[in-house]
Structure 1
């Protein structure tokens, strides 16, 4: 049971920004959590916490090119789907789907979650997506996938034993039974799934049985979590995982979104990781409120300010929060060519191309400002806000002496504004602004204001663009906004990058 005399409160989401499909496990007093990463490299961000609320990224599971094949034509929202992280017999195990043709489900393991992780073991006998791992008392490893089907495997070799068998698949008629997780809790095996689709109808349901294969009896209160048909500020709640804390209390991590603006509501940060308390009543889990505040945390928390990020590129290693599209070849990404500068050498000719050279970080706050000092004397590039190759905005400087703002929305691409480039080093900027007036049912979530700072300290706003077009409701897919540095021609040098949350 949760301690109702909470000692601290915290904000939800506990991992903001594009961090969907969370999976969590506890080892001793330490908690570890992973999320989907789709078309971005390195793959599968991995976080550590001591209290389930304050999370620090300690690495990425698939951080070597031979671990992760993402061809340059991998579309946005392709790549890596829905990992499951578990600890068994002294090792960490992670299973995930790479939806790239010819890849499929794969398993990696490590003794230290910070890495290194093994090269992938392929699972050709395991179909589908959203794979889960669970071990029974005899040491058998069961893999359950969306659908919901189950097969026994050897995760060390990839061998399967028999054919996948269908098990409980949730509410009859409910869309997309997926994200299965199998647990042994007390005298029962529990099979928890997501259903209803990952949009506004998303929810979590659960069933139990006396063996890992069922038969499974559904919870009479299913779905045990959903925000469908409500006006709650957190929507699309689902794709959850359970964990028992060190004090015996139970918790659920799950994905959700924070729609902004008018109708239908636009979520711009992607699906984020939220936390909710869980109690048990008559052998079934009862999920607490999923709100922007966590009112009941029964242990002391570390006070953490809203996270800012500055990188002066003064080391040869990239921080784990940096992501790139598909790969990160050293001939295109380096901090060694010019001391304490990042040099990006172009490959794709624009952000419309899937092989553009981009180094980005997830937008994690509804309000933010990002700045970078750029030298474009040898090429063209700048600062972008990207949702996918068909939905992005950017401010770029060129070696021909101009600075311009480019907008791509669906099949339309335009130069929103273009000005002569000022002399000397140039700081490019992007920040969010409030939704434009007047407010009505069509009002978007925010505006993105692009500009620059000249060497004499003067600031110039070049263009303000409607933020709704960089949202999942417009673009589709499964990802959120990424703030990135890019090169589209020649070589572009960046002295530093600074990201700061704004007031909201």
Structure 2
């Protein structure tokens, strides 16, 4: 048996974890989506709840910048001396020479402080750790060609100033792209955990140790600590791990992985997700137990009618905060205003299942809108409504294709639905596609199906990048009033469409 279910599904990659008493806190990369750095909490390591986001305002991160899969890379969360700390990289800031950023909070649900930048730390994937004297050390994957490798230096957390010249700690085991460092002082040893091999099929976690934080570091005889490379397992790309000591003294690790489907090379569509493994210590080295924590499939369904002024932290904007283009409607629902200057007004949420159905209903009396599933600006499928006609569009590589139009009864706002269904199996038991995307609209017991479309073109293997699919509602012209958005974990793909229509 090998665990096949993530503890946090959907594109929640590069997990980092800390513990305070009996509660664990986990954060992830968020890339171009805002608010940034989602924060989950758990008391059992298996069941997690989204408690907020760390980057929630423009004094922490600028809007309207970057490109798909830019933004926030691989942050680390730690708890020290009664305070939570997050250190991360905004790759949009690298050309500005700001270095990594450091924020803190008394409560992981926020609010989090404005950032302190750490100049002289050009790179990605930073980590922070405090030594026995209480001195903070920042460690990162350098992108400075004159000083490459995994670098580390002491830092003043009040000012962001390095207190010594960065030193190279370890170059890894020889695999490509040594990155994602985490330092731990455990007993008499300093352990340095890395991600290696790239975040695709060659991904791995490796570890080394030293008697001092400066090194030299010796590689574990068990390396790679974790990898599924070249193995016929349903979860692939595993790596980028973070260790955690449990309240009872046992150990575990979180790591990223993907669930590819379809013919070779396999296609993952929900991004890189967060998984959990156990840790044993053998002769002073960590050894992975992948079966210690069985994870059962989770129902991720939600229905949001936007009945409160503050929207749920699941909702994201593409490079902008949702608060800049949404406002409550006085009679219920949510107003979405179209964006200017080529930016987005897409209110989006991550897809989290291998099979799902999502629907919405909005009024287009004062504008036009659309309901989409997307990976990036150039790759999305969706349904547009202008008050009279529903138009289905499949956009691949930036080339939009109209695949159908339908007119609902006059004066009735239709429901718009997008579903992801399992692809049919070929005789040898493999499907061509990872899934099929169905586009449907309906009103007054009349339903119009536009067809099903190949899910490969909304997969990371086709589009590239580091994110996964989101569903979202966007005002493309003027203003729309959204009555609700509903998402269903699809345990019965045949029935779900009709069940959701009946719920309108």
Common topology (TM > 0.5): yes
* 1:216-295 matched pairs, under 5 angstroms: 216-289=217-290
Question: What's the counterpart of residue 164 of structure 2?
Answer: 162
Distance verdict in 2 for CA 1:163–1:76, change over 3 Å: same
Deviation (angstroms), 1:304: 8.6
Indicate whether 1:488 and 2:494 are aligned. no
How much has 1:50 moved relative to structure 2?
A: 0.3
| Cα distance in 2 for residues equivalent to 1:503 and 1:81 | 33
Residues of 1 paired with 2:408 and 2:293: CA distance? 53
Displacement of 1:329 in angstroms is 5.9
Compared with structure 1, are the counterparts of its residues 135 and 247 closer, same or farther at alpha carbon in structure 2 (3 Å cutoff)?
same
Paired position in structure 2 for 1:406: 393
SS of 1:148's equivalent in the other structure is strand
CA distance in 1, matches of 2:157, 2:320: 26
**1:42 equivalent among 10, 30, 35:** 35
What's the counterpart of residue 432 of structure 2? 443
Question: Which of the numbers 99, 103, 110 marks the counterpart of 2:105?
Answer: 110
User: 1:40, CA displacement in angstroms?
Assistant: 0.4
Partner residue of 1:362?
A: 350
- How many residues are paired up? 479
Deviations 1:90-116 (A, max 9, x none): 111100000014254100001111111
After TM superposition, give the deviation of residue 11 of structure 1 in Å.
6.8
Q: Counterparts of 2:307 and 2:380 in 1: how far apart (Å)?
A: 29
Q: 1:331 to 1:277 in 2, by over 3 A?
A: closer
Number of the residue aligned with 2:206: 205
Say whether 1:140 aligns with 2:135: yes
With structure 2 as the length reference, what TM-score do the two structures score?
Answer: 0.92
Retained in 1: the 8 A contact 2:208–2:220? Answer: yes
| Superimposed CA distance per residue, residues 218-261 of structure 1 (whole angstroms, 9 cap, x where no aligned partner) | 10121111100111000000110000111221101000000011
Q: Alpha-carbon deviation of 1:10?
A: 8.7
Q: How does 1:49-60 map to 2 (within 5 A)?
A: 49-60=42-53
Q: Kindly tell me: are residues 391 and 304 of structure 1, through their superposed partners in 2, closer, same or farther at Cα, counting changes over 3 Å?
A: closer
Aligned mate of 1:16, from 9, 12, 18: 9
1:76 aligns with 2:68: yes
| C-alpha separation in 1, matches of 2:325 and 2:130 | 43
SS at the partner of 2:456?
helix
Deviations 1:129-187 (A, max 9, x none): 00000110111111110131111111221011122111112113x11000000001111
Counterpart of 1:427 (choices 415, 433, 437) is 415
Q: Answer yes or no: is the 8 Å Cα contact 1:204–1:223 preserved in 2.
A: yes
Which residue in the other structure is 2:81 paired with?
A: 89
1:361 is paired with a residue of what secondary structure?
strand
Please say if residues 87 and 103 of structure 2, whose CA atoms lie closer than 8 Å, have aligned partners that are also in contact.
yes
1:390 aligns with 2:391: no
Name the CA distance, whole Å, in 1 between partners of 2:131 and 2:470. 40
Q: Which residue number corresponds to residue 463 of structure 1?
A: 451
Preserved CA contact (<8 Å) 2:408 2:442: no
Structure 2: state its 5+ residue gaps: 142-148, 493-504
Tell me which moved more, 46-55 or 339-348: 339-348
Which consecutive segments of 4 or more residues in structure 1 shift more than 3 A? 294-297, 436-442
Contact persistence 1:313–1:496 (CA under 8 A) = yes
Taking the aligned partners of 1:208 and 1:491, their CA distance within structure 2 comes to 57
Distance 2:414 2:118 in 1: 50
Deviation of the 1:122 alpha carbon? 0.8
TM-score, reference length from structure 1:
0.92
Instruction: Give the equivalent residue in structure 1 for 2:90.
Output: 98
Listed as ranges, the gaps of 5+ residues in structure 1 are: 1-8
